Amino acid sequence: MGWLPDETGLDRCAANHVALTPLSHLRRAADIFAERTAVVYGQTRRSYLDYYGRVSRLASGLAAHGIKPGDVVATLLPNVPAQAEAHFGVPACGAILNTINTRLDTDTVAYIFEHGSARVVLCDSACIGLAEDAIKAMQGPAPQIVEIADEEAGIEASGHYLTYEALLEQGDPAADWVMPEDEWESIALNYTSGTTGRPKGVVYHHRGAYLATMGNAISWRMVLYPVYLTIVPLFHCNGWCHTWMVPMMGGTLVCCRDITARNIYDAIADEGVTHFGGAPIVLNSLINAPESDRRSFDHIVEVFTAGAPPPAATLAAIEPLGFNVTQVYGLTEVYGPATECTWKPEWDDIQGDERAALKARTGVLMPMMEEAVVHDSHGEPVARDGAHLGEIAMRGNAVMKGYYKNPEATRAAFKGGYFRSGDIAFQHPDGYIKITDRAKDIIISGGENVSSVEVEDVLARHPAVSLCAVVAKPDEKWGEVPCAFVELKPEAEATEEELIAFARARLAGFKTPKKIVFSDLPKTSTGKIQKFELRAVAKLL
Amino acid sequence: MGWLPDETGLDRCAANHVALTPLSHLRRAADIFAERTAVVYGQTRRSYLDYYGRVSRLASGLAAHGIKPGDVVATLLPNVPAQAEAHFGVPACGAILNTINTRLDTDTVAYIFEHGSARVVLCDSACIGLAEDAIKAMQGPAPQIVEIADEEAGIEASGHYLTYEALLEQGDPAADWVMPEDEWESIALNYTSGTTGRPKGVVYHHRGAYLATMGNAISWRMVLYPVYLTIVPLFHCNGWCHTWMVPMMGGTLVCCRDITARNIYDAIADEGVTHFGGAPIVLNSLINAPESDRRSFDHIVEVFTAGAPPPAATLAAIEPLGFNVTQVYGLTEVYGPATECTWKPEWDDIQGDERAALKARTGVLMPMMEEAVVHDSHGEPVARDGAHLGEIAMRGNAVMKGYYKNPEATRAAFKGGYFRSGDIAFQHPDGYIKITDRAKDIIISGGENVSSVEVEDVLARHPAVSLCAVVAKPDEKWGEVPCAFVELKPEAEATEEELIAFARARLAGFKTPKKIVFSDLPKTSTGKIQKFELRAVAKLL
């Protein structure tokens, strides 16, 4: 190992070793970017000095209400400034931030309150009913509700609870922060929106959150002073860690409560938004927005999309509007994005389907991670031939500590020294990974694996198709057959026979869907299609 | 502290914790940027795959020659590809890289060989004489010489030693690397070019080198695929860690053996150089280059300068040529730059002297560091009033482990939990630090502190002055008085009386130089003016 023969006096000390934590970014920003605009929400604009002061008030206010280091503080909040403040203020009193998806059902929120033992929940006025119902349904000590009204959205406080602003009033804008002594201390607890069974509590360490901010900034080609729009919910992998990243860059965080095309266009035109992340469905909403919701702008907006590869038609339609779309891939367990379809300059002139195929790649390792590889069932890397399938396995410093109070699931997820994603992929000869399916989305028809994504890609090219999802339908003869659920574009028409014929002309017979269902697709709050619901429907067909 | 009530199963493991090391950047680059150009030197162009293969050969070749983890491997090399390869290949066999300044005297090199106990020295053919003389002069076991000829420069091997290419031939391009198990392991040993006494051996840890690469990339507004020209010697704070950084960005490292204006212009025009770092003297050489050495280019080159603030006249002359100049500040002890005069967009329209004054600021903390502050003699922060002087104190993760085999000097340098820079500065109200003097450069005249930099700034504005340096001259009446050494521009003329009058019109009487000496200024290999020599001359006047 790289130890000199004499290391006397060369130990870690206060001068040369500080626990890595994203809290450092906001402290530095308050110092060196003091007067720059940190947070924008409607008419609200706050400088870094203000932001820091409010965060310090929150941390000391929580402490005054009995929150101790190691306690869990939950939030039920849309992308409003309080949610960003909680990302710093909760860990700044030594507590662990548990952002809860505001669109979950009562039972699941009750489960999360119970399992995480939240002491306080910072709750948007629009979510008070959900919080109250969950508290009624839960066992054990309930979290104290601190209510956040939203003047910008015209939402008033219920009057029944301590308000967030009152809590801040009790705090001290110059309070000392509780900084981690060990960068392995916990900073966040994020429950996966598991589609089966109880959600699992993913625990983040300060070190990973810090390194994710640096790796994301570099990989995303961000330069100083970005204007970042919050489209990815901050309760989803802490908004891919971007709330923690923006102060490092002296950037401006533009909060967006309601994710609509109009709000996005307005933020771009009025605030000069340079970057945002969102599911492909957000891209479609921008493309399909009525003229009255659009605004013109003269810069290129960098958009990072995840959850599904952007379809060729989406790319072809959105790029001329002034958006550069890059696909990233990750999971809650790896702090959001861990691979990116890093664009190569030599691809610049490639157009059409070939360009879309390149942009649809899952990509390559981001700089804060150590390895992303496709493993066969023996844990060996598959050949990089663009054909052999395996499971994406990752390791590195932006991987969770594990699942809270579930060491068995943690052990299974980390089998062999890698985080096992459950996602099925191949690797191109140049190393770019391409997901073919979430493990549970593979359709096995007559013993052949059918990639649902491949079938979806073909159907999406049909001019009448707006969105589609393909799942397995049980079949007596073949075991399973592909079944497609399709949303058509407004005023477009297509028949089942027409779409099946379209697919058959482009796919092997066993991959061609045997059934097409026209319906609205059920989506999660982050825009992911909920295939488990479609699978349930397909079983009954 | 931020530990959840139940942390069972949430420990560090192979999946979620990897020792931070810049070695990871090249491994990743070889994987995801395999075919991109990694290193350019004259007609030599190598891809990341080649670069990685040669580094692996170096690591395994050194191991085959008996180098073990913890051994020291020295280099006496200009900025040629072998020096870059050594930055990865030496630590990749677990050894510690000791890059030695090629312009040191025999005695000092002998001292470094002895003190560092280098087992091998990778030595440029032009430095063989120096290495041989130092080996003759030293006590104890001498390093084995591995000679590096330079075909591109027409320099042939002496024939007396194992050559670098022969060593690489013996290595294995697919050899496993020795990765650090603990990120606190040592990666480099850099002797400060102390102007008095024996040089001290600054020890770098892998963690700091890794974090410096990330912080520099972000602070320097680098986006993917930079083309980085090596002007700062790689033996100077490991070239500010940039050899380690470039692979993280998929960039190209352009090696430059002889730092001349012609070579810099050629590299910009021929290789599309986007970034380099260098002392202000390099900027002057670009400005004063004859027409025949200049090349045209149509992009802006980002230049980072350190060692002294860029004079107003230099800035005014160089910016129209296509260079954007940013001042950074640091020392060997903090891995090179630790603060940067981060530009504010609201300054864009400011011109002339006011612009130069802004660009002459020492700046603010870079993102990988935790704190940079100006302390009074009691270790308390001075008022941020642009007037109170104190010493720059820094702490954070890009601070050295300490001085090798010198725990006493380490303790003194880290007094009170900060690295004590010895540099005197004030802080502007917006937090920007401004160095007034290296501690030893302060002139005390009649009990008043005179900032030599302030006097130099005034003299540099005189149209005939090319370079100047002000030091203390002993004086019976005043104790010390300012004495200026001046290099005039080619064919320019000025008298001592004229320059003194020019200064007196702009400075307080006690700050005005009492003596002007016209002469060439002695410089270190990195372009810093060697004031200790001038002080010796001033004493004799």
A410 touches chain B (CB under 8 A): yes
Please state the φ and ψ torsions of residue A308, each to the nearest 5 degrees: -165, 150
The confidence score (pLDDT) of residue B333 equals: 97
Q: Give the nearest partner residue to A94 out of B1, B178, B189, using CB atoms.
A: B1
Q: Give the nearest partner residue to B225 out of A215, A345, A396, using CB atoms.
A: A345
Strand locations in B335-476, DSSP E? 336-340, 364-365, 369-375, 390-396, 402-403, 419-427, 433-438, 443-445, 448-450, 465-475
Is the pLDDT score of A194 beyond 60? no
Report how far residue B80's alpha carbon sits from residue A193's, in angstroms, rounded to the nearest whole number.
Answer: 53
Please state the φ and ψ torsions of residue B226, each to the nearest 5 degrees: -70, 155
A96 touches chain B (CB under 8 A): yes
Q: For strands A419-427 and A227-229, give the pairing.
A: unpaired
The confidence score (pLDDT) of residue B281 equals: 79
Residue-range domains of chain A with CATH = 443-540 (3.30.300.30)
The confidence score (pLDDT) of residue B197 equals: 64
Q: Give the nearest partner residue to B32 out of A7, A187, A364, using CB atoms.
A: A364
Other beta carbons within 10 Å of A495? 11
Is the pLDDT score of B196 beyond 70? no
| Percent of chain A that is helix, strand, coil (3-state, to 5) | 35, 25, 40
Q: For strands A144-148 and B72-76, give the pairing.
A: unpaired
Q: For strands B515-518 and B448-450, give the pairing.
A: unpaired
Mean pLDDT of B107-116: 96
Chain B residues touching residue A407 (CB < 8 angstroms): 8-9
Mean pLDDT of B191-202: 76
B180 touches chain A (CB under 8 A): yes
Mean pLDDT of A260-269: 97
CA nearest neighbour of B248 among B21, B19, B29: B29
Supply B281's token pair.
């003297």
CB contact under 8 A, B395 and A206: no
The confidence score (pLDDT) of residue B252 equals: 98
CB contact under 8 A, A185 and B3: yes
Is the pLDDT score of B439 beyond 80? no
A346 touches chain B (CB under 8 A): no
B411 touches chain A (CB under 8 A): yes
Is the four-CA dihedral B231, B232, B235, B238 of positive or negative sign?
negative
Is the pLDDT score of A410 beyond 60? yes
Is the pLDDT score of A308 beyond 90? no
Is the pLDDT score of B135 beyond 60? yes
User: How far is CA A505 from each of CA A213, A455, B56, rounded to the nearest angstrom?
Assistant: 45, 12, 50
B352 touches chain A (CB under 8 A): no
**Exposed/middle/buried for residue B70 (C-beta within 10 Å: 0-12, 13-18, 19+):** middle
* Nearest chain B alpha carbon to A204: B10
The confidence score (pLDDT) of residue B273 equals: 98
Supply B377's token pair.
């003699």
User: How far is CA A236 from each of CA A246, A307, B531, rounded to the nearest angstrom?
Assistant: 17, 12, 57
Cβ(B453)–Cβ(B436) under 8 Å? yes
Is the pLDDT score of A423 beyond 70? yes
Does this model's pTM top 0.90?
Answer: no
Q: Give the nearest partner residue to A69 out of B1, B35, B345, using CB atoms.
A: B1
The confidence score (pLDDT) of residue B228 equals: 98
Report how far residue B40's alpha carbon sits from residue B47's, in angstroms, rounded to the nearest whole number.
Answer: 9
Which amino acid appears at position A24 of this protein?
Answer: S
Residues 446-465 of B with CB under 8 A from A: none
Which amino acid appears at position A188 of this protein?
Answer: A
| Residues sharing a CB contact under 8 Å with residue B121, sequence separation 6 or more, in sequence order | B73, B74, B75, B76, B100, B113, B131, B143, B144, B145, B146
Chain B residues touching residue A221 (CB < 8 angstroms): 223-224
Q: What percent of chain A has pLDDT over 90?
A: 79
More confident residue, B388 or B67: B67
Is the pLDDT score of B121 beyond 70? yes
Chain B residues touching residue A18 (CB < 8 angstroms): 370, 395-397
CB contact under 8 A, B180 and A2: yes
A186 touches chain B (CB under 8 A): yes
Mean pLDDT of A107-125: 97
Supply A118's token pair.
């939240």
| Residues sharing a CB contact under 8 Å with residue A408, sequence separation 6 or more, in sequence order | none
Is the pLDDT score of B540 beyond 50? yes
Which amino acid appears at position B226 of this protein?
Answer: P
Report how far residue A74's alpha carbon sits from residue A76's, in angstroms, rounded to the nearest whole number.
Answer: 7
Please state the φ and ψ torsions of residue A220, each to the nearest 5 degrees: -85, 10
Q: Give the nearest partner residue to B417 out of A2, A14, A31, using CB atoms.
A: A14
CA nearest neighbour of A297 among A264, A250, A325, A326: A264
Report how far residue B231's alpha carbon sits from residue B282's, in angstroms, rounded to the nearest whole number.
Answer: 9
Supply B102's token pair.
């090629």
Read out DSSP for B116-172? HTEEEEEEEGGGHHHHHHHHHH--SPPPEEEEE-BGGGTB---SSSEEHHHHHHHS-
- Helix orientation angle between A261-271 and A280-287, rounded to the nearest 10 degrees: 80
Q: For strands B443-445 and B275-278, give the pairing.
A: unpaired
- Helix orientation angle between A128-137 and A106-116, rounded to the nearest 10 degrees: 70
Is the pLDDT score of B424 beyond 90? no
Measured in Å, how far apart are chain A's first and last C-alpha atoms?
Answer: 62
Measured in Å, how far apart are chain B's first and last C-alpha atoms?
Answer: 63
The mean pLDDT value of chain B amounts to: 93
* Nearest chain B alpha carbon to A410: B9
Q: For strands A301-305 and A323-331, give the pairing.
A: parallel
pLDDT band at A329 (very low <50, low <70, confident <90, very high): very high
Q: What percent of chain A has pLDDT over 70?
A: 97
What pLDDT digit, counting tens, does each position of B168-193 carry?
Answer: 999 999 999 999 999 999 999 999 86
Is the pLDDT score of B308 beyond 80? no
Report how far residue A28's alpha carbon sits from residue B369's, in angstroms, rounded to the nearest whole number.
Answer: 9
Is the pLDDT score of A438 beyond 80? no
The confidence score (pLDDT) of residue A510 equals: 83
Per-residue H/E/C for B448-517: EEECHHHHHHHHHCCCCEEEEEEEEEEECCCEEEEEEEEEECCCCCCCHHHHHHHHHCCCCHHHCCCEEE
B224 touches chain A (CB under 8 A): yes
The confidence score (pLDDT) of residue B17 equals: 98
B5 touches chain A (CB under 8 A): yes
CB contact under 8 A, A402 and B9: yes
User: How far is CA A217 from each of CA A305, A362, A416, A517, B150, rounded to the nearest angstrom?
Assistant: 15, 18, 30, 42, 38
A396 touches chain B (CB under 8 A): yes
Cβ(A188)–Cβ(A23) under 8 Å? no
Mean pLDDT of B525-536: 80
Q: Give the nearest partner residue to A395 out of B11, B15, B178, using CB atoms.
A: B15
Describe the strand order of the beta sheet including B44-47 as a list of residue ranges: B44-47, B37-41, B252-254, B227-229, B275-278, B301-305, B323-331, B336-340, B364-365
CA nearest neighbour of B403 among B110, B39, B116: B116
Is the pLDDT score of A41 beyond 80? yes
CB contact under 8 A, B10 and A404: yes
The confidence score (pLDDT) of residue B195 equals: 46
Report how far residue B459's alpha carbon sits from residue B441's, in angstroms, rounded to the nearest whole number.
Answer: 17
Chain A residues touching residue B7 (CB < 8 angstroms): 186, 401
Chain A residues touching residue B367 (CB < 8 angstroms): 25, 28, 214, 248
CB contact under 8 A, B96 and A4: yes
The confidence score (pLDDT) of residue A195 equals: 46
Strand locations in A249-344, DSSP E? 252-254, 275-278, 301-305, 323-331, 336-340
Cα-only R_g, chain B: 24
Other beta carbons within 10 Å of B293? 16
Q: For strands B479-488 and B162-163, give the pairing.
A: unpaired
CA nearest neighbour of A390 among A435, A452, A457: A435
Cβ(B98)–Cβ(B111) under 8 Å? no
The alpha-carbon gap from B510 to the nearest alpha carbon of chain A, in Å, equals 35
Q: Nearest 5°: CA angle at B172, between B168 and B177?
A: 105
* Nearest chain B alpha carbon to A401: B10
Report how far residue B410's alpha carbon sits from residue A8's, in angstroms, rounded to the nearest whole number.
Answer: 10
Mean pLDDT of B59-69: 98
Mean pLDDT of A492-512: 91
User: How far is CA B180 from each of CA B22, B68, B184, B206, B313, rounded to the nearest angstrom?
Assistant: 10, 13, 8, 8, 47
Report how far residue A340's alpha carbon sits from residue A306's, in angstroms, rounded to the nearest whole number.
Answer: 9
User: How far is CA A151 from each of CA A49, A52, A103, A366, rounded to the nearest angstrom?
Assistant: 22, 21, 21, 39
Quote the DSSP letter at residue B529: B
* Nearest chain A alpha carbon to B373: A31
Other beta carbons within 10 Å of A116? 21
